[in-house]
Structures are given as C-alpha cells and as structure tokens.
Amino acid sequence: MPPRPTSRITRRTLLTAAALLPTTTGAQQQLAVDPYAMTGGRRGGRQLGPVPITESDINVLSSQAADSTGPLDPKLANYMRLWIGKNAPGKCEFIWDLDVDRAGAYELRALTRGEKPYGLSVSTTDGAVQADVGEKGWQRVNVGRIDLRSGKQTLRLTSDSPAFDLSALELVRPAAWQTIQRQAQAIRSQPDWFKDSGYGLMFQWTNRSTPPSGPNKPWQTKIRDFNLDRFVDLVEESGAAYVIWSITWGEQYISAPIRALDDILPGRTTQRDLLGEMAERLAQRNIKLIFYYHYGYDCYHSKDPAWMRASGAGDPDRTAFYKNWQAIIGEVGERYGDKLAGWFLDGGQRYYDCHFDNTPNTGMTTAPFYDLTRTAKLGNPRRIVSYNPWILPSLTPFEDYLAGEGFRTFEGLNDGQFPNGPYAGLQAHSAFPLEKRWGHIDPDTKIEPPQYTADRLIQAIRTGRERRYPYSINLEMYEDGSVSPQSRRLLSDVRSAIRG
C-alpha cells in the first residue's frame, strides 16, 4: 500500500464553518442557512477510528470522517458535519479506514453535488470503480460495485474535478439493498388526504416560545394557560386541512404526560395533556394532525446538555439512544392512535450520520431507520413519516414524503410523487416560514410582517393542488398562543380564494 500524503483535513480537525451559498436547480431550490442556526466549528481531539462495515445495512462513510487532501472546504452548521466542498483545481482524496464484517461485493453510492460535470473514482488495494456525474444539484450517484476483503483495509475516493461537494459515500451489499427496498415498500404510506389537502399550518411553539414583551412563564404554567379554543378557531378560520405541531424544538420538553421521557429525564413533561386535547379537538373539525419532533440541537441559540447526556444522544455509540427514542416516539404514537396522522422528524443529518458531531466511529454508522419508522407508525400504520434532509437527497428509503423545507414549486411529478431523482418515490411537500423565523423565541420582540403576499401563496397552492402536493405555512406564535393579526388577515384571503 503506498504511503498516504500529508492531509489538509484530518480526523483530528474540523475547521470553522464557511457560508453555505444557495443555488437554484428546478425542483431542488437550495436554501440559505437560517442565520441564527449557523455556528462556528468544533475541534475534535480524538481519532475517529475505523468505520465498521456490516453486511445487512447501508454503511455511511461521512466525507468529514475521512482523512482528506487537496483544496477542500468543510461545511458545518449546528455543530453538524454536513459535507466537504472542492472549489479549486487540483486532485483531492478522501481516505477511510474500514473494518469489514464479511467479505463480498458492495454497491457504492455517493451523496454529491456539482453545477458542472465531474468525476469520482473509488478504490481499494483489490480494485477500483469510477463514475462521471452530469446532473446538477444534490444527487445519490451510483458509483459502481467493489469487492471488499474481511477485516481492516483502506478505501479511497479521488477526483481531479475542480468543483463539487461530497456529503457521504454509502456501501451496501446488493442482497441487503433488495431486502431494504422490500421492507420500505411494505411500510410506505401514501394517503390521498395529504396529496389533496392544498395547505396546512405549522407551528414551532414549545417551551422556548416568548411573549412580545416580558419574561417567559414557567413550563407547567405555560401549558396550563394555553387557550386551545382560540387555537382551534384560528386553524379552522385559516382553512388549513392539517396542522404540523412541534412537540419539541431545540430542547426536550413535551406538553403531555409521556412516561418514557420522564423515565429518562424527569421534569420535562406536563400534567396537562395538551397534545391529546389538541388531537381530539382538531379531529372533531376534520383537521389532521402531524407532530414535528427534533431529538436535540446543539448550537448557540439552543443547548440541552442534560438531555443529550441522559438519553445517550451524545454517546459515540447511539444504540442506547435510539432505544430511548423509540420508547418516546412509540408511546406518543400509541397514545394518540388514528388522531396522529404523521411525523415530521427534523435534523435528518443526525439520523443519517451517527457521527455528525465528531464522535469516534463506535457502533452504527447510520440510524436503524427501519426500526425507527415502524415505531413511528405504532398506533396508526397509515401514518406518514419524513426525516428532513434539508437540501440533501432523501436520507433513507424508510419514509413517505419529502419534508420539503423551504418555499418550493415542484414539476415533473407523477400523481404528486417524484418519479426519479434525489427524492424518487416520495410524496412532494413544501414547508416554509411565513414570517421571519420558524418560531418566536426572541424576547421582547414582535412578529415581523409576512414575507409572501396572499397572491403568491394562492398561486403556489393552486399549482400544488393541480399537481397533488401540499404547502405547510409556518406561523410564528407568541407564548399565549396568539399570532400576528397581519398574517391572520393574509390567511383569510388565502382561504377565500382556495376554499371558496
């Protein structure tokens, strides 16, 4: 084996984040990072070690878990290793140490993006394959098939192309991929109610929601005082066919008596079952309910170290954490049954790359998506599930619809679904903030005016109805459950035009 060249980016170093520049490529509208979600880099102090390669799952080789050479620029946000970009001439190389369970042929797929054609080559001491990529935007590219010996070895990805981004390289046995595809199709849900709903409302209202002025109420008081009658009237008045409601955002507090969370970290639930009351009241008015869930942030605007420690979310091996995750999500799903129509699971990169935070390569490389999705459907097998990939391709076959973060218009759909490309097989969907932010979390501030006109929303929703995909309009909401009067008037105009 030839000696390795000196690395510019090693497993010991993560560099400060650079700006993520948005581009637009048809249906894949690339979005700028929310300015209050950007963070600086975190320096790692430990070798990540060889990546364990199993024969029964998709193995994820993160680009930023590799030793790397060449003119490369790592991209980070919310302390997540997102991808590495190349924007200069010269050769680059990504090097991973592997520990392979069982020898055999593995299919290679790269999560990669470019604006001009570029080439990738993957090699071991036993062979090499290469792929030329012509498509623009983020894609999951089939690189080819390569034989791996059992035990420890090195895999290299090289390219002379001047510009492209690499998120990860996936290795999977062909037989395992066939099994995964069968399992995914067996549990996939594609309800007409969502395709033809036109639009719904989304709310990031949690323990962090603030009033326009003054201090926040204590957690239990905030939930006790929430005016559910006013909220349900607001939703019905808007003409929304469904609600996406955040049961967590940034910190792990749930407004219901969820025993699984209490067992992990007491004091984070509530005596009042606000989620259950909401599910019941919305169902009475034939309005569907989807829960948004994020298992934990780590950035300057939100930290929850107690939860990350207690749940195992910060451990190098995420095995225990995902058991805790299933306990919480499974209890919520069974508690609300048919009244819970879906899950919007945010932070998809944290599921896809279990070592997004520079922890050593111990245990699984990617989440047990099949088990997680089956758990998310407990109590209602027709429930729809999405793991938000942000601007990346779909991160797992075990989901039903595209989270669709950002105001998007989709073309070339087949009955509301993507027939091919980075979201092939998924139901199209767009979710976007109507005002400045997803949630009202700043103290002593008022909600800003809508950034879209009623006419623009009406036109987009009409297009979505023709093509069978919905829009989720996110409203900022004050601590007392009220919203901007200006946004409420705008939604009244939307209802008149869409619902009649």
Judged on CB neighbours under 10 Å (0-12, 13-18, 19+), 403 is buried
Residue pLDDT, tens place only, 416-447: 999 999 999 999 999 999 999 999 999 999 99
Q: What spatial distance separates the first Cα and last Cα of the chain, rounded to whole Å?
A: 71
**CA dihedral angle for residue 182, residue 186, residue 188, residue 192, rounded to 10 degrees:** 130
Residue 8: pLDDT band with limits 50, 70, 90: very low
Q: pLDDT at position 80, please?
A: 81
pLDDT-based confidence at residue 14 (cuts at 50, 70, 90): very low
User: At residue 32, does pLDDT exceed 70?
Assistant: no
* Side-chain half-sphere CA neighbours of 330 within 13 A: 11
As a whole number, mean pLDDT of residues 89-114 equals 96
Give the model's confidence band at 131: pLDDT under 50 very low, under 70 low, under 90 confident, else very high.
Answer: very high
The encoded tokens of residue 249 equal: 């955002």
The yes-or-no verdict on residue 91 having pLDDT over 70 is yes
Q: Where are the alpha helices (DSSP H) in 150-304?
A: 174-187, 192-195, 219-224, 228-238, 259-264, 274-284
Mean pLDDT rounded to a whole number for the chain: 90
Q: What is the pTM of this model?
A: 0.92
Q: Is the pLDDT of residue 19 over 50?
A: no
Q: What is the DSSP string of 380-434?
A: -TT-EEEE--TTSPPS-SS-SB---BSS----S-BTTB--SGGGTTPBP-EEEES
The answer to whether residue 300 scores a pLDDT higher than 80 is: no
- Model pLDDT, residue 298: 67
Q: How far is CA 410 from the centre of its chain?
A: 19
pLDDT of residue 33: 44
Structure tokens at 225: 């005082």
Give the per-residue pLDDT at 18.
28
For residue 237, what are the contacts with CB-CB under 8 A and spacing of at least 6?
488, 491, 492, 495
Mean pLDDT across 254-272: 97
Residue 461 has pLDDT above 50, yes or no: yes
Alpha-carbon distances of 206 from 118, 438, 455, rounded to whole Å = 44, 11, 30
Distance from chain centroid for Cα 392:
9
Distance, CA of 411 to CA of 463 (rounded, Å): 10
Q: Which domains does the chain have, with CATH numbers?
A: 24-182 (2.60.120.260), 188-498 (3.20.20.80)
- Tell me what pLDDT residue 96 has: 95
Q: Residue 248 phi/psi, 5° resolution? A: -145, 155
- The pLDDT assigned to 17 comes to 30
**What single letter denotes the amino acid at residue 418?**
F
pLDDT score of 425:
96
